[in-house]
Amino acid sequence: NAGVTQTPKFRILKIGQSMTLQCTQDMNHNYMYWYRQDPGMGLKLIYYSVGAGITDKGEVPNGYNVSRSTTEDFPLRLELAAPSQTSVYFCASSYTVGGEGTGYTFGSGTRLTVV
Amino acid sequence: AQKITQTQPGMFVQEKEAVTLDCTYDTSDPSYGLFWYKQPSSGEMIFLIYQGSYDQQNATEGRYSLNFQKARKSANLVISASQLGDSAMYFCAMREADSWGKFQFGAGTQVVVTP
């Protein structure tokens, strides 16, 4: 099983450029999440989805957009990149959202630098 | 408001010794899960251990144990017999049952294991 696949692993963007971070999972998980991790910090939620066609904002959604047209894919779109969006981005998925201990399956992350 | 607090930004521990990483949390949801993740320098997020709010016993997974004190809202991670490979960033996280699976992460504790 591939689990959660994120592409690209690294990217350098110029200010004002746009890009899409791809996230695909093959576990048939309904719940998917995008987090960002700034240097030396914990993860903060950008957007999440509870199923195909349903998305909602997290803690830090400004400057990002998402879509969820299929169960497998949950791309994150950056429009007009800014230096403040320099971060490591993690996609994660989950089978359940209760208190059970299954936790997330994380992707390997995308390291984005905006210059 | 910060729901997960990790007060130790960094710690040094000698090989073969035990180390305790502090984590306190804040929630009014009676059903929640507490998780610890390890993030080595390679960047991936590795699940270590889980404690449910209704669990009567402290969770253990190999050399990892969770000291769960519900009344004090603390969920400290204990790593016994530290190894050089334990050097990493450690994150405490909480998932409330009524949160669509969203995690709240602490800021992390950097652990360095010395020979």
**Nearest residue, CB atoms, B33 vs list A88, A90, A99:** A99
Taking phi over 0 as left and psi of -120 to 50 as alpha, with beta for the rest, A103 belongs to: left
SS3 A8: coil
| Per-residue pLDDT, B97 | 83
Q: How confident is the model at residue B1 (pLDDT cuts 50, 70, 90)?
A: low
8 Å CB contact of A56 and B4: no
8 Å CB contact of B102 and A43: no
**Nearest residue, CB atoms, A94 vs list B50, B101, B105:** B101
CA distance B105 to chain A (A): 6
Q: d(Cα B54, Cα B50) in Å, to the nearest integer?
A: 12
Question: What's the CA angle centered on A66, arms A62 and A71, to 5 degrees?
Answer: 150
| Per-residue pLDDT, B82 | 97
Per residue in A56-115, pLDDT (tens digit) is 999 999 999 999 999 999 999 999 999 999 999 999 998 876 545 667 889 999 999 999
Determine the residue type at B111: V
* Res. A17: pLDDT tops 70: yes
**Nearest residue, CB atoms, A88 vs list B43, B51, B53:** B43
- The residue among A47 and A100 whose pLDDT is bigger is A47
| Per-residue pLDDT, A100 | 57
Per residue in B26-82, pLDDT (tens digit) is 999 999 999 999 999 999 999 999 999 999 999 999 999 999 999 999 999 999 999
8 Å CB contact of A33 and B47: no
Question: What's the CA angle centered on B31, arms B27 and B36, to 5 degrees?
Answer: 75
Q: d(Cα A42, Cα A48) in Å, to the nearest integer?
A: 17
Nearest CA to B66 among B51, B83, B82? B51
Per residue in B86-95, pLDDT (tens digit) is 999 999 999 9
Are B69 and B77 spatial neighbours (Cβ–Cβ below 8 Å)?
Answer: no
CA distance B70 to chain A (A): 15
| Per-residue pLDDT, A14 | 97
Place of tokens 């009014």: B28
Side-chain half-sphere exposure of A47, counting CA atoms within 13 A: 20
Q: Token digits for A7? A: 């592409």
